[in-house]
Amino acid sequence: MQLAALCTDPFVLSCTFLCLLLHLALRSLHPTSAPGRRLPPGPPGLPLLGALPLIGPAPHTGLTALARKYGPVMYLRMGTCGAVVASSPSAARTFLKALDARFANRPAVASSVDITYGSQNMVFANYGPKWKLMRKLASVHLLGARALADWARVRRDEAGRALRGMAEAAEAGRPVVVPEVLVCALANIVGQITVSKRVFDVQGDESNSYKDMIVSLLTGVGLFNIGDFVPALSWLDLQGVQAKLRRIHNQFDGLITKLLAEHAATAGDRAREGRQDFVDRLRASKDDDEDGQTITEVNIKGLIFDMFTAGTDTSSIIVEWAMVEMIKNPSIMARAQEEMDRVVGHDRRLEESDIPNLPYLQAVCKEAMRLHPSTPLSLPHFSFEECEVDGYYVPGNTRLLINIWAIGRDPSAWEDPLEFRPERFLSGPAAKVDPLGNYFELIPFGAGRRICAGKLAGMVFVQYFLGTLVHAFEWRLPDGEEKLDMAETFGLAMPKAVPLRAVVTPRLVPAAYA
């Protein structure tokens, strides 16, 4: 019945008609199993479009349903491309540990090229000397442990501004919109450490428009764009994805260009004060030739793009989902607040130095990352070489997707996987699990060579801001709202479809919000 419905859908029919015109010419290019070797199991799909129409509007759940039928390692023909999908911890370990070097590249797809200055950023660049240089510079000057310690003051200041704004909303009887508060604060943190500038003076229309732009961008990039899987049809932009992403890219590029111009105008002030931010250090590195590689102005723009996109919305998504689950489960909220009251008290704000003494808060963060990973499907990996996995043949020129969402809900890895239960990380087998790529049951940042470069920063942001919000306020839904909407919006990141609105009441002494 499902296939019959798809075959009568006007969109699918139009796409199929266009694809059939190319089917015979491209058929010989389509990967097939080598003689005597079997491809991993997977659905047959439709002519040329392959499994694309079978995945549905939420690919993380569609691929999970297919994995229940075909297994944790699936091979899907999608357009003229082949893709292998890993949906279990053991399958992810095989690809991202044993075969990590083979799958360290990114596929060249129209939707990412349009927004990343031709893949001149760190996230979408192919594995090689230039990528290694960008990764090294980002780790040393921005995302590593030492750099994070250097910028702790900025995080504290922005958290304080957010608390004051929320306290004012509480006094006025206004609900707060949690993701708007978080994105404004995180964007200002990223702005200060990259270009020495707070991007938004206050939370308001400008910062909310920025958030909407980020959400639209990540949603668009996460869509399964037909042009990415059938390159011959890319120019038609059948879903309008590429046109939308180009418009957003132009907006984002305008913001980055403006920030860089203002940054250049204040270079003298920073030099006199002996201050350097991330862009200053990137520009200084342009004079160094490392393995024949140098950082260009386009690379600098690409790296700033990475920091603003990956450094704001993804962290805020985890904090928002954690807040939703805690409001939904008052006993979890009460236990977290009791722990903070005991360790921190009511006379001051929570500090980052308190977090190691707050194991239940850490467990809540891990549980939010397990059940609601901000990135449900990994960014696609790509291998030029053929390989063998669990006795199956995987051709060269194959994409790899890790279904992080499915792994976090795998009943063979987690007891009661659909239940939000932070206690699982306090004792038993899960107590030793961390989300930094060492345990494949929990890989919200990915794993292997292409693990998110900002994993440490992401952990700091999530733990510090979630702890700050929970410690500083009591939380309840606005009058008339009795039930939380748990719907998701699929994309490269996965925010709540309906942003969390809540009424807050201060629970610390007034001086703590000053």
* Cα radius of gyration rounded to whole Å, the chain: 23
Q: Is 452 annotated as a binding residue?
A: yes
Closest CA to 374 of 437, 310, 423: 310
3-state DSSP assignment of residue 499 = coil
Name the strands in the sheet holding 398-402, side by side, starting at the edge strand that comes first in the sequence.
73-78, 81-86, 398-402, 381-383
Within 10 A of 118 (CB to CB), how many other CB atoms are there? Answer: 14
| CA angle at 404 for the pair 122 and 248, rounded to the nearest 5° | 45
- Burial of residue 134 (CB within 10 Å: 0-12, 13-18, 19+) is buried
- Token couple for 335: 């236990």
Backbone phi, then psi, for 48, in 5-degree steps? 65, -50
CB 209 within 8 A of CB 248: no
Closest CA to 106 of 123, 87, 118: 123
Backbone phi, then psi, for 476, in 5-degree steps? -150, 160
Closest CA to 300 of 347, 267, 261: 261
Strand partners, 505: 474
| CA angle at 353 for the pair 348 and 354, rounded to the nearest 5° | 60
| CA angle at 357 for the pair 150 and 328, rounded to the nearest 5° | 105
Which distant-in-sequence residues (6+ apart) come within 8 Å of 287 by Cβ? Answer: none
**Binding site feature residues for heme:** 452
Per the annotation, binding residues are 452
